[in-house]
Copies of this chain bind each other. A is one copy, B any other.
Amino acid sequence: MKKTITLAHGNGGRLMHELIESLRLKLSNKILDELSDAAELNVKKGRLSFSTDSYVVKPLFFPGGDIGKLAVCGTVNDISMKGAEPLFISLAFIVEEGFEFADFERIVQSIKKEAAKAGVSVVTGDIKVVEKGAAEGIYINTSGIGVINYPKSIGAKVKAAERIVINGPIAEHGMAILNAREKFGFGSKIKSDCRSLNREVGRCLLASKRISLMRDLTRGGLATVLNEIAHSSGLGIEVDEKDIPIRTDVRKMCDILGFDPLYVANEGKFVCFVDTKDALKVKKALGREAKIIGKVSSKHKREVYLNTAIGSQRILPMLEHDQLPRIC
């Protein structure tokens, strides 16, 4: 077998069929085994969650994960945020001519491992090869389908007085990527928090039937997500700085480089908006890293307020420019 991927691996001929066959064997399941251009799926219920994301992260391999793991987790998480159980994902590669097979293999193994962990099947896929210089190594798209069993639609408008629960410390993914990309040499313990959240989400859904919204804290971080929610709900949001969890080494790296951790991307963190009555139940369901960090308020319309650790209050705006490109 050739050591690098060539244009012929994407042109419909024998090499492409061999490559697809080897992928099928690695990711094998009953549906993928049919190897047609579309998968036939059986779903029990009529409410589905459907999501897509392309992944262009740089570097491809980083502490805590790689583009393959990220491509599974990211889509599993988006599906989960609708209160759904993710079941099926698609997998589409855009590969640069000359990409090393060894790296491709490592990424495929990582996809396989994370899909098994999250309990999702890769049921359909695609591979395109572009000329040397027309992509940077490899880009991946995953789309996915989940089944919603929760009685109400999650993602509808939040209500005043609802509490905001977060499942753990922020800013790890963005700082791990930056550290790996720029070789800053900050402590090797700074790892991406990249992980599939469907099990944690499942526990929340069992713990309370009063969840109105869940959102993972990816591009733009916690502050951006809260701004989006404040804006779309027409209500205000208040969060307490002292309750927002963050590891000391991550905070230090942010301080030194001038990043506000509230705007740094995560890949394994989410917020859950829930009726006050059930906030503690949800926190408990999420485990010891979870915190109640704030609430929805009818005061500051469409704005996010931070009660700072020193007792003052400031607005967290929607940022314009100074965020990191290609962190996912």
Contacts and interface: CB of A to CB of B under 8 A. Distances in A.
A320 B15 contact: yes
Given A49-B38, A52-B92, A11 B139 contact: no
Interface string A111-151: 00000000000011110111101111001010101101000
Given A39-B51, A40-B48, A145 B148 contact: no
Given A54-B92, A56-B128, A46 B43 contact: yes
A221 to B, nearest CB: 8
B47 A40 contact: yes
A258 interface: no
Contacts of A153: 40
A131 B135 CA distance: 10
A218 B219 CA distance: 36
Contacts of A34: 155
A81 interface: yes
A8 interface: yes
A308 interface: no
A215 B38 CA distance: 10
A131 B139 CA distance: 13
A132 to B, nearest CB: 11
A84 interface: yes
A189 B135 CA distance: 33
Contacts of A7: 325
A56 B55 CA distance: 15
Interface string A24-50: 000000000011111111111011111
B78 A326 contact: no
A14 interface: yes
A37 B323 contact: no
10 contacts: A7-B325, A14-B319, A34-B155, A38-B146, A94-B139, A130-B326, A131-B325, A133-B133, A135-B139, A145-B145
Interface of A: 7-8, 10-17, 34-44, 46-56, 78-79, 81-82, 84, 88, 90-94, 123-126, 128-131, 133-136, 139, 141, 143, 145-146, 148, 153, 155, 215-216, 218-221, 224, 228, 232, 265, 318-321, 323-326, 328
Given A37-B81, A155-B40, A56 B94 contact: yes
A197 to B, nearest CB: 12
B130 A56 contact: yes
The winner among A88, A92, A320 for most chain B CB atoms within 10 A is: A92
A220 B13 contact: yes
Contact of A126 (B53, B134, B148): B53
Given A14-B320, A36-B82, A92-B141, 4 more contacts: A17-B228, A38-B51, A40-B153, A134-B135
A52 B126 contact: yes
